[in-house]
Amino acid sequence: MPGTSQSERLRGLIEAGIALGSELSLDALLLKLAETAAALTGARYAALGVIDESGEGLERFVYTGIDQEQADKIGELPRGRGILGALITDARSLRLNEITDDPRSVGFPPNHPPMLGFLGVPVVLRGRAYGNLYLTEKADGPFSAEDQELVETLAGQAAVAIENARLYEDATNWSAQLEALNEVWTALAGEIELPRLLKLICRRLRGLIDARVVTIALPGPGGALRVEAADGAGAGADDIPGLQLERAASKSGRVLERQRAEQVDSLADDPEVDYEATQPLNLRTGLYVPLIAGGRPIGVIVAHDKEGDDPRFTDDDLRLAETFAPRAATAVDLSARVAANALRRVMEAQELERRRLARELHDQTGQELTSVLLGLKAVEEAKSDAERAEALAGVREQVVGTLHDVRRIAVELRPKALDDFGLVAALERLRETFSEQTGMRVDLESQIRERLPTHVETALYRIVQEALTNIVKHAQASAVSIVLARKANVVTAVIEDDGRGFNLAGTREGLGLLGMGERLALLGGKLKIESSHGAGTTIVAEVPLP
């Protein structure tokens, strides 16, 4: 600011302090600080270096006066050597007419603009050095003692502003972390499909640590780790070449064995990493965190390449991932347990159904066959043609009745029409049989014209079958409507009756609705129920198609 009066410079300093105090973004604050220092002193170039956790180098270097084209030609940003390093080890202001006058100067890299005069001022608060302000090339000559005093005052104001910005960023980061953890727990409460939960964990952790890609690998057959979910450099695990299978000898497997998180600054230099397998995505760094539940390892979270100029993860990233991992492990473990419990319930329901059919075969069909045998004995013992004809007629009637019962049981086990003609034909046959037996009117409407996957047809048939059984047992209905529809990759069955309805709270398990929901959940589907006293019941079953 050549030719500027003392009062004008002081006014500019006050205005700069107010502006710095209102800036909460640390990166924006650092750039504004460098620009303000340059403007107050008339320097052509200004920079601010932030000292890293070790106190020996720079973790950030923000500059002004050099355009992007020049910066690209210069290459790597300074790390804190030479004159810049001198201010790190000795946090005192340094003013030079020419940089080369100081023996600690190491020169400039190729394509760097020439710089003569230098003013370096530490940014210190309560004895802690946050960084240093560097100014060069004053427009009207060397930097003066007045310039140094002015920048030292600015640096004092900047230290407070930097601490406030860091506190604000820390609070914002913690808020984001709490939000991520809350989202995972909320998802856990209503999500039993493991792939969706794993994908959510990858997405939220990737956002928290600014990773280019995050994957979760779980043990598969033979102990090999398989990537089950991913977020970042691909839509899913299948889009990540070379990472689909990770053998037990890989880095992930070793981390799982050791049960401790590890940070790798260079994948190429770690002997446990299959570096060639990571090259389709040009991965350079890694963060490996085991998922431990109940004292046993159940998987590994792997993050690669922090976004930005430096792909290496920080200690804060590692601590955050370690904080996140136990929650994720618990969520994964509970989700797997819920899925296993759902499968157990379905199997128990199937076993109960088998027992019921066994009782019917033993009690009803067995008794009818015994009656046939007695009827045949009556034919053998008939003393006249008339008695024999009468006995044969009775046997024939018993055989027809038994055959009808056997066919009914066979249909309940697996209707032949379902295999031969598909879901719609099988439901049409079920509708006719149900109407004949109960006297209810049953309307069936289908928008599906093609065959569906076998497991989808079976699930929807069983859901409709169970719903009709519930209606005849509990609903006191006179009419039932069944509608099949397909939208995109979802098939929906809607079963509606005009019965007495029921209170949804506390009655789902008794009506078999829990088993219906679990059957659908195993296929990634959903069950929705609407009912109230006197208003009938509507059941909506949704099943996704592969």
Q: Tell me: the pLDDT tens digits for 470-496? A: 898 888 899 999 999 998 789 999 999
Tokens found for residue 254: 């070793």
What pLDDT score does 245 carry?
Answer: 40
As a whole number of angstroms, the distance between CA 347 and CA 517 comes to 14
Same-domain pairing of 166 and 34: yes
Residue 291: strand, helix, or coil: strand
- 47-56, 139-148, 506-515: which has the highest mean pLDDT? 139-148
> Does a structural domain hold residue 431?
yes
What pLDDT score does 246 carry?
Answer: 44
Same-domain pairing of 29 and 103: yes
Same-domain pairing of 119 and 157: yes
Same-domain pairing of 478 and 545: yes
As a whole number of angstroms, the distance between CA 167 and CA 173 comes to 10
Q: Which residues contact 281 (CB under 8 A, 6 or more apart)?
A: 213, 233, 234, 240, 241, 242, 304
Quote the pTM value.
0.43
> Does a structural domain hold residue 496?
yes
Same-domain pairing of 133 and 104: yes
pLDDT digits 0-9 by tens, 377-424: 777 888 888 888 887 887 788 777 777 666 666 555 566 777 778 889
Give the range of the structural domain holding residue 264, as residue numbers without chain letter.
173-338
Same-domain pairing of 246 and 158: no
Between 112 and 44, where is the model more confident? 44
Q: Look over the chain and give the mean of its residue pLDDT values, rounded to a whole number.
A: 76
Domain end call among 145, 171, 197: 171
> Does a structural domain hold residue 197?
yes
Residue closest to 138 by CA, chosen among 3, 328, 308: 3
Same-domain pairing of 130 and 264: no
What pLDDT score does 183 carry?
Answer: 62
> Does a structural domain hold residue 264?
yes
CATH of the domain at 10: 3.30.450.40
In this model, does residue 3 exceed pLDDT 50? no
Of 173-177, 306-310, 436-440, which range is least confident? 173-177
- The confidence band for 244, taking pLDDT boundaries of 50, 70 and 90, is very low
Same-domain pairing of 180 and 166: no
pLDDT digits 0-9 by tens, 317-330: 888 788 778 777 77
Same-domain pairing of 130 and 182: no
Q: Across residues 322-346, what is the average pLDDT?
A: 68
Instruction: Find residue 493's DSSP bridge partners.
Output: 484, 541
Cα separations in angstroms, 373 against 363, 368, 400? 15, 9, 14
Same-domain pairing of 191 and 120: no
Strand order through the sheet with 58-64: 58-64, 43-51, 128-138, 118-125, 94-96
What pLDDT score does 217 carry?
Answer: 84
**Residue 118, H or E segment:** strand 118-125
- The confidence band for 173, taking pLDDT boundaries of 50, 70 and 90, is low
In this model, does residue 287 exceed pLDDT 60? yes
Q: What value, to the nearest 5°, has the Cα angle with vertex 501 and ends 191 and 504?
A: 30
In this model, does residue 145 exceed pLDDT 70? yes
In this model, does residue 233 exceed pLDDT 60? yes
Phi/psi for 211 (5° steps) reads -85, 155
> Does a structural domain hold residue 461?
yes
Domain end call among 171, 195, 216: 171
Same-domain pairing of 160 and 191: no
pLDDT digits 0-9 by tens, 415-462: 677 777 888 988 998 888 888 888 899 999 998 888 888 888 888 888
**Residue 290, H or E segment:** strand 286-293
What pLDDT score does 351 carry?
Answer: 54
Same-domain pairing of 43 and 153: yes
Domain end call among 305, 338, 371: 338
Between 357 and 72, where is the model more confident? 72
> Does a structural domain hold residue 501?
yes
> Does a structural domain hold residue 179?
yes
Cβ atoms 197, 188 nearer than 8 A: yes
Tokens found for residue 74: 């210069």
- The distance in angstroms from the start CA to the end CA of the chain is 69
Residue 260: strand, helix, or coil: coil
> Does a structural domain hold residue 58?
yes
Long-range pairs for 232-236 at CB < 8 Å and ≥24 separation?
232/202, 232/206, 232/304, 233/281, 233/304, 234/281, 236/199
Q: What is the tally of structural domains in the chain?
A: 3
CATH of the domain at 545: 3.30.565.10
